[in-house]
Amino acid sequence: MILDELARHAQERVAEAKKAVSLAEIMAKAKALPKGDFRFEKALSGKNTSFICEVKKASPSKGVIDEQFDYLATAMLYEDAGADCVSVLTEPKWFLGSNDIFRAIRLAVDLPLLRKDFTVDEYQIYEAKCMGADAVLLICALLDTETLRRYLAVCDGLGLSALVEAHDERELSSAVRAGARVIGVNNRNLKDFSVDLTNAARLRGMAPAGTVFVAESGVASPEDAAALRRAGADALLVGEYLMRALDKEGALQGLKEAVR
């Protein structure tokens, strides 16, 4: 399963990173920075539908999505077009992302940034803080409830938000028990990469009142965005549709119009 491979590779990357900068060192660096104000989750709250627009070059299911991949121009276009937050892939092997891409985008845009990677060690949370992230991704399929709870506490201590991602009832229940405030339901099954746009609608009722509910993946048209809004999504995370669009600003405007 690709998710297992992604997790294994993430563990290898963390082991390498620790050789250069120890857990104690990166923890101290992260804690010395000003505490964040959870602006990622604030940006997604209190609106009709918010948009998290993703910067990614490739994916395991589709291969290379954007050959040119001018990531700075893309992130700045998202900001100009009214994105609420930007998600940046840092996974290098299958998504062709990097921490350097994230840092460059952090310098270029003021929007809240989600460091999107496969978190398997708390080291990555401190690393994200040091890179200027406002939020990290925690995937329920990779982390049991107790680990989720512990990682959420680390995030809270740093002022970082966490997008806690679930795909089915069991995972969403784990996210709720762990105390997630921002819950994402992935319409893509990370085990076989099949997409079911009704998955978020099916699970919407399990998310407690007061949580921010994010529908992730599968948006391929303004009609899809409108359907997810009707299903009760507070925010949409959109990647491939925007990355493939020649007119990214126009594509995002079309999505925003569809959910009004």
Q: Which residues are CB-contacts of 230 (< 8 A; sequence separation ≥ 6)? A: none
Query: Catalytic annotation on 165?
Result: yes
Q: Which residue segments constitute the domains of the chain, with CATH numbers given?
A: 2-258 (3.20.20.70)
Under-50 pLDDT residues of the chain: none
Whether 62 sits among the annotated catalytic residues: the reply is: no
* Catalytic residue (choose from 41, 122, 127, 216): 216
pTM of this structure: 0.96
H or E element in which residue 127 lies: helix 123-131
The yes-or-no answer on residue 31 being catalytic is no
- 56 as an active site residue: the answer is yes
User: Which residue, 257, 217, 243, 260, is CA-closest to 78?
Assistant: 243
Report pLDDT for 81.
Answer: 95
Q: Which of 116, 129, 248, 256 is catalytic?
A: 116
Respond yes or no: is residue 12 known to be catalytic.
no
pLDDT at 196: 87
The secondary structure of residue 206, as a DSSP letter, is: G
pLDDT at residue 74 in the model: 97
Q: Which residue out of 50, 199, 217, 248 is catalytically annotated?
A: 217
- Whether 186 is a known active-site residue: answer yes
Q: What is the pLDDT of residue 230?
A: 94
Residue 46's pLDDT is what?
Answer: 80
